[in-house]
Structure 1
Amino acid sequence: MKKVLFATTALVMTAGVAAAEVAVSGDARMGFIYDGDDLQFSSRARVSFTATGETDSGLSFGASFRVDQENGIDGEGDILNRSIDGLASQGTAGSVYVSGTYGKLTMGDVVSATEKINGDLYSVGYTDGAFGGDLEEITYLTGDGVNLDQGPNVLYEYSINGFNIAASMSDGSRVTCAGAVYGSLGCDDADLIADEDTDTAYSVAVGYDLNGYKLGLGYADNGDASEIVLSGEASFNDFTVKGIYQDLSDVAADDGVSIMEYDRTFGFSAKYDMSNGVGVQAFWRRDEFTLTDIATGADVDDEFDSYGIGASYDLGGGATLAGGIMDSDYQEDAVADMGIKFTF
């Protein structure tokens, strides 16, 4: 993404500390979304701050967050429930890192080690899959918005000779304050609703890159639930393909009538980026699960299939024209989007 430097390099007053800089970047989009019933206008604009620095000894450090992650105050001055979206000021949005010879350590709203190594299927559309519920994204057990009620998560990364190693975890401590602000270190006794220990979620993963080929293997544990994820990716000139397999254990949802236990998720995706700026993207995904009737105890095995295909055209200067169509057994009708997205 093209970066626009908003603040020039700031010289630190204290001796022995190297110079640091702050950059501002952004993204925006405008277009249309068809939700299966109606055609709707759709637009969004976001600004991101990225601060970086380096000590005299060569230790790198930095932080980044979006403007909409700076606080949890709504238009009426009330504190919002930020357990999902998070706050940069409390480490549940944005991230802070330190990096050196022995790897990179990042804390905040970070992805898990399993997701860092294996990633997701390729997105389609000008909203990058958001118009269809981000069906190209694999639902990992920890990280990337999960476990935010425990405060910041931590991710460690190290690379050597083509191998990429990662480990991540939550701290397993949940603090709930009045106003439903989670992970706050400044929660007064009068506002404290709950301070409890919960399951520490963790993940370990390893990947290998060699001449356009990538392999990944990861394991994650979140209480009784666990996952094993395998991935492979290969590039041939302008054509790239990727496959992901996720095996799940004790991952279930209970709606009071039945229990849905997820067994596995797997899928394939491909993209073709032509030299003239035209690109084509597609993915297929299947979720397999066991549905148990609570009253009778009867089990039924079932599956959901999801599809997506999209196209894009690079207009230059950070602007891209894109559109996509997605369909899934989760929803009754196919959905689509089309518009222009920008990076600044």
Structure 2
Amino acid sequence: MPRPALSVLDLVPVRSGQTTAQAVAASLSLAAHADRLGLRRYWFAEHHNMPAVASTTPPVLIAATAARTSRIRVGSGGVMLPNHSPLVVAEQFAALEAMAPGRIDLGLGRAPGSDPVISQLLRMSGTTSDVERFPEHVNDIVSLVSPDGATVRFTSGGTYDVHATPAATTTPEVWLLGSSDYSAQLAASLGMPYVFANHFSGAGLERALDLYRSGFQATAQNPAPRTFLTVNAVAAPTQDEAEQRALPQLRMMARLRQNRPLTALETVEQAQAAASEFDSMGEQIMSGVRQTWFVGTGESVAAEVRTFADRWGVDEVMLSPVSGSFDDEPMDAAPGRVQTLELVTSALGD
């Protein structure tokens, strides 16, 4: 099987006792490492008001990462468009493209990225019904970041030209993200590249890809469908260490799905000490989630990546490195996540 390209999805995890500054420093270091390893792209996801997630502002993180890297593409996975004005998003990513020409990806999603209270706070200047205008806003952004800009047409007559930046020579690549039939069909109808959020659960993957590929409407920019897939992964020198490093994130997933109070991410030792916290349902959730993750040695995870890419006909797999930390590991680094990227990249070879 051919070697699939590797990319990274980062939620900027925050572990117990770690400050936001330390968590961001760890992720920026990881991004620089991914750049040196030759990975294809590095994306930040938008989430809000979660104790274990510091990726609240992808454009800010993208700017910092672009400044610390030289070749890897950097982007959002994604910006949750209903939370933001299309013009503001277009201006942010046009500026990012000007700072790192040819290296910026704008992944757009329709989900809120948080709970209803936070969604309302994010949308105080607009209305929650904007989610229904998602297709329109996607088209607006594509037009606004282009050199020609967009045109506002008034109902009373007349027009007004709008540009996200005065004189664009290159534009960010816009992707649609999703985990449902809706996003796949929309991406196909607009002739846009598409990413299925397989790291959520994987449910509906086959149907989404079929809808996207069979319904794709070619454009000059995208003459054929383009897609890759995401997956949660932990790689370590031994299977036992990999399973240990996966435990904190597995327990966080069980809390999320049982609507338990969220906390900063546990260390491996904290997670092991609290192993009896969950009832049988919580244990079933963790077991089910674990079955969809790639956890093992570099060689075994690389083999799973190859098989996964071949099964779904993609040439790129985006890893969300969900490797936890041990108590004695530095707060401003992520050795487990670095190790995952290093081992899988090495095992995949050239």
TM-score normalised to structure 1 length: 0.32
The higher radius of gyration belongs to: 1
Structure number with greater CO (CA < 8 Å, separation at least 6) is: 2
Q: Which has the higher strand share?
A: 1
Q: Which has the higher helix share?
A: 2
